[in-house]
Amino acid sequence: MTQYGFHMRQDLCTGCHACQMACKDEKNLDDARLYRHVFETEGGSFAAAGSGWAHDAFAFYTSMSYNHCERPACLGVCPAGAIAKDDKTGIVTYDGELCIGCKYCEEACPYGAPQYDEAAGKMTKCDLCADRVAAGEQPVCVAACPFNALEFGELEELRAQYGEAVTTFGLPEDTTGPSIAITPHAAGAPSVA
């Protein structure tokens, strides 16, 4: 089975949020929902040094969406059978007709990825722009990034090309197997809490 996923480059991301806004526009999301989040990690300090100042301050960004995990926690808890994993693409699909709005999937997901639609009384989530992908296009977040900090493709190929750095970053890799690889910023590991 092919497993599609994302490669995210902290070393190129500027935190501009273009990916997030392109997704919000493409999926026509209301103010309460985001399928992609951009997290900032910052640290370091300033100190007086002679007649001036020295510092080791840094900031970098991590852009993350739903992870189309190998073992989706949301799928296992859904009592309505609304969530499934496509055996050709690895995309975790969701059927809004079946959803009863119980929010079990939201509680189960270690990334907080499913987003509840209050108006419809249904859960919603990223579908990896499945229609665009089927047409040979990139997910809209990838296409929108002006700095090429996001890449879409077959996960094993991405990891072979860039390494499995994500496993060192504290993501719940062991429990869900998120379909993402992250090239780190030189300053360190990301915060995704």
Q: How far is the CB of 54 from ligand SF4 (least distance, A)?
A: 29
DSSP, res 166: G
Q: Which two tokens stand for residue 43?
A: 């640290």
Instruction: Give the span between the Cα atoms of 108 and 126, in whole angstroms.
Output: 16
Q: How far is the CB of 136 from ligand SF4 (least distance, A)?
A: 21
Residue 189 contacts residue 11 (beta carbons within 8 Å): no
Q: For residue 121, give the 3-state DSSP assignment.
A: coil
Interaction of residue 123 with ligand SF4, rule CB under 6 A: yes
Question: Segment near ligand SF4 (CB under 6 A), from 7-15, 40-48, 155-163, 177-185?
Answer: 7-15
Q: Residues 14-53: x/- map of binding to ligand SF4 (CB under 6 A)? A: xxxxxx------------------x---------------
Interaction of residue 6 with ligand SF4, rule CB under 6 A: no
Look up tokens 């809490």; give the residue.
193
Q: How far is the CB of 21 from ligand SF4 (least distance, A)?
A: 8
Q: Given the DSSP bridges, would you call strands 180-183 and 36-43 parallel, antiparallel or unpaired?
A: unpaired
Q: Which two tokens stand for residue 68?
A: 């189309």
Q: Given the DSSP bridges, would you call strands 4-9 and 52-55 parallel, antiparallel or unpaired?
A: unpaired
Q: How far is the CB of 9 from ligand SF4 (least distance, A)?
A: 8
Question: Segment near ligand SF4 (CB under 6 A), from 25-33, 44-52, 143-151, 183-191?
Answer: 143-151
Q: Of 4, 61, 66, 152, which lies in the binding site for ligand SF4, with binding defined by CB under 6 A?
A: 61
Best CA proximity match to 141, nearest among 32, 63, 89: 63
- Maximal CA-CA distance, the chain: 67
Q: Residues 71-110: x/- map of binding to ligand SF4 (CB under 6 A)? A: ------xx-x-xx---------------xxxxxxx-----
Q: Given the DSSP bridges, would you call strands 4-9 and 180-183 parallel, antiparallel or unpaired?
A: parallel
Residues that bind ligand SF4 (CB under 6 A): 13-19, 38, 61, 63, 77-78, 80, 82-83, 99-105, 123, 144-145, 147, 149-150
